[in-house]
Chains A and B, each alone.
Chain A
Amino acid sequence: MAPTTTIRIALAGLSLAVAATPALAVTELQWWHAMTGANNDAVNRLAEEFNASQSDYKVVPTYKGNYGETLNAGIAAFRAGTAPHIMQVFEVGTATMMSAKGAVKPVYQLMKDAGEPFDPNAYLPAITGYYSTTKGEMLSFPFNSSSMVMWANLDALKAIGLSEPPKTWPELFAAAKKLTQTGFPNCGFSTTWVTWLNIEQLSAWHNVPVATKANGMDGLDTTLEINGPLQVKHLTNLAEAQKDKSFDYSGRYDSGFGRFTAGECPIMFGSSGSYGNVKGAAKFAWASAPMPYYPDVPGAPQNSIIGGASLWVMGGKKPDEYKGVAKFFSFLSDTDRQAKLHQTTGYMPITKAAYEKSKADGFYAKNPALEVPIKELTNKTPTENSRGLRLGNLPQMRDLWAEEIEATLAGKKTAKQALDEAATRGNAMLRQFEKQAGR
Chain B
Amino acid sequence: MSPERITFGGRLLPAALIAPQLLIVGLFFYWPAVQAVWQSFQMQDAFGLSTEFVWFENYRALFTDPAYYQALVTTLVFAAAVAGLSLGFALLLATMADREIRGSGIYRTLLIWPYAVAPAVAGVLFGFLFQPGLGLIARGLNQIGIPWNPLLDGNHAMILVVMAAAWKQVSYNFLFFLAGLQAIPRSVIEAAAIDGAGPARRFWTVVFPLLSPTTFFLMVVNVVYAFCETFGVIDVLTHGGPGRATQTLVYKVYQDGRIGADLGGSAAQSVVLMAIVIGLTAIQFRYVEKRVAY
Q: Which residues of A approach B to under 8 Å, CB–CB?
A: 1-7, 9, 68, 72, 75, 78-79, 96, 99-103, 186-187, 242, 249-253, 256, 258-259, 264, 393, 395-396, 399, 402-404, 406-407, 409-410, 412, 425, 429, 432, 435-437, 439
Residues of A within 8 A of B49 (CB): 100-103
CB of B270 within 8 A of CB of A437, answer no
Chain A CB within 8 A of B266 CB: yes
- The segment from B32-40, B82-90, B111-119, B192-200 found at the interface with A is B32-40
Residues of B within 8 A of A253 (CB): 239
Q: Evaluate whether A4 and B153 lie within 8 angstroms (CB atoms) in the complex, with A79-B48, A100-B49, A258-B134 already known.
A: no
CB of B259 within 8 A of CB of A395, answer yes
Chain A CB within 8 A of B240 CB: yes
Residues of A within 8 A of B180 (CB): none
Q: Evaluate whether A2 and B267 lie within 8 angstroms (CB atoms) in the complex, with A102-B49, A436-B43, A437-B46 already known.
A: yes
Chain A CB within 8 A of B52 CB: yes
Q: Which 6 A-B pairs have the closest CB atoms?
A: A2-B36, A406-B242, A396-B260, A4-B257, A100-B47, A103-B47
CB of B32 within 8 A of CB of A393, answer no
CB of A3 within 8 A of CB of B253, answer yes
- Binary contact readout B177-205 vs A (1 if CB under 8 angstroms, 0 otherwise): 00000000000000000000000000000
Chain A CB within 8 A of B136 CB: no
> For residue B31, which residue of chain A has the nearest CB?
A5
Q: Nearest Cβ in chain A — how far from B49, in angstroms?
A: 6
CB of A4 within 8 A of CB of B241, answer no
Which residues 11-70 of B sit at the A interface, judged by CB distance below 8 A? 29, 32-33, 35-36, 39, 43-50, 52, 61, 67
CB of B151 within 8 A of CB of A251, answer yes
Q: Evaluate whether A259 and B133 lie within 8 angstroms (CB atoms) in the complex, with A4-B258, A252-B239 already known.
A: yes
CB of B255 within 8 A of CB of A399, answer yes
Residues of A within 8 A of B261 (CB): 75, 96, 393
Q: Evaluate whether A396 and B152 lie within 8 angstroms (CB atoms) in the complex, with A250-B133, A407-B243 already known.
A: no
Residues of A within 8 A of B256 (CB): 396
Chain A CB within 8 A of B154 CB: yes
- Other A-B contacts than A102-B49, A250-B151, A396-B256, 8 sampled, CB-CB below 8 A, are A3-B250, A4-B263, A75-B47, A78-B48, A396-B260, A403-B240, A436-B44, A437-B46
Bound CA span A436–B49, Å: 10
Bound CA span A251–B45, Å: 30
Residues of B within 8 A of A96 (CB): 46, 261
Q: Nearest Cβ in chain A — how far from B168, in angstroms?
A: 18
Chain A CB within 8 A of B273 CB: yes
- Binary contact readout B228-266 vs A (1 if CB under 8 angstroms, 0 otherwise): 100000000001111110000010011111111111011
Bound CA span A79–B274, Å: 26
CB of B133 within 8 A of CB of A403, answer no
Partner of A432, one of B33, B36, B262, B267: B262
Q: Evaluate whether A2 and B35 lie within 8 angstroms (CB atoms) in the complex, with A75-B261, A396-B256, A396-B259 already known.
A: yes
CB of A403 within 8 A of CB of B244, answer yes
Residues of B within 8 A of A396 (CB): 255-256, 259-260
Residues of B within 8 A of A79 (CB): 47-48
Q: Evaluate whether A1 and B270 lie within 8 angstroms (CB atoms) in the complex, with A251-B151, A393-B261, A406-B242 already known.
A: yes
Q: Nearest Cβ in chain A — how far from B280, in angstroms?
A: 14
Bound CA span A38–B256, Å: 33
Bound CA span A410–B153, Å: 7
Residues of B within 8 A of A242 (CB): 152
Q: Nearest Cβ in chain A — how far from B131, in angstroms?
A: 8
The 15 sampled A-B contact pairs (Cβ below 8 Å) are A2-B32, A2-B39, A3-B250, A3-B254, A4-B263, A5-B32, A5-B39, A68-B259, A256-B133, A393-B261, A395-B260, A396-B256, A406-B151, A435-B43, A436-B262
Bound CA span A256–B131, Å: 10
Bound CA span A103–B47, Å: 7
Q: Which residues of B approach A to under 8 Å, CB–CB?
A: 29, 32-33, 35-36, 39, 43-50, 52, 61, 67, 133-134, 142, 151-154, 228, 239-244, 250, 253-263, 265-267, 270, 273-274
Residues of A within 8 A of B52 (CB): 439
Residues of B within 8 A of A68 (CB): 258-259
Bound CA span A9–B142, Å: 46
CB of B152 within 8 A of CB of A409, answer yes
Bound CA span A1–B44, Å: 20
Q: Nearest Cβ in chain A — how far from B119, in angstroms?
A: 13
> For residue A402, which residue of chain B has the nearest CB?
B241
> For residue A83, which residue of chain B has the nearest CB?
B47
Q: Evaluate whether A4 and B239 lie within 8 angstroms (CB atoms) in the complex, with A75-B47, A432-B262 already known.
A: no
Residues of B within 8 A of A256 (CB): 133
Residues of A within 8 A of B154 (CB): 410
CB of B258 within 8 A of CB of A72, answer yes
Bound CA span A402–B241, Å: 9
Q: Nearest Cβ in chain A — how far from B141, in angstroms?
A: 13
Bound CA span A102–B48, Å: 11
Bound CA span A259–B151, Å: 14
Residues of A within 8 A of B48 (CB): 78-79
Bound CA span A61–B70, Å: 43
Residues of A within 8 A of B228 (CB): 1
CB of B239 within 8 A of CB of A399, answer yes
Bound CA span A99–B277, Å: 37
Residues of B within 8 A of A187 (CB): 133
Bound CA span A256–B255, Å: 22
Bound CA span A322–B121, Å: 42
| Residue of A1, A100, A252, A406 with most partner-chain B CB within 10 A | A1
Residues of A within 8 A of B39 (CB): 2, 4-5
CB of B50 within 8 A of CB of A439, answer yes
Q: Nearest Cβ in chain B — how far from A252, in angstroms?
A: 6
CB of A437 within 8 A of CB of B259, answer no
CB of B259 within 8 A of CB of A399, answer yes
> For residue B262, which residue of chain A has the nearest CB?
A432
> For residue B66, which residue of chain A has the nearest CB?
A425
Q: Evaluate whether A406 and B152 lie within 8 angstroms (CB atoms) in the complex, with A72-B258, A250-B133, A395-B259 already known.
A: yes
Bound CA span A101–B47, Å: 9
Q: Nearest Cβ in chain A — how far from B135, in angstroms?
A: 12
> For residue A258, which residue of chain B has the nearest CB?
B134
Bound CA span A407–B153, Å: 9
CB of B36 within 8 A of CB of A1, answer yes
Q: Nearest Cβ in chain B — how far from A79, in angstroms?
A: 5
CB of B262 within 8 A of CB of A2, answer no
Residues of B within 8 A of A393 (CB): 260-262
Residues of A within 8 A of B153 (CB): 410
Partner of B47, one of A78, A402, A435: A78
CB of B133 within 8 A of CB of A5, answer no
Residues of A within 8 A of B244 (CB): 403
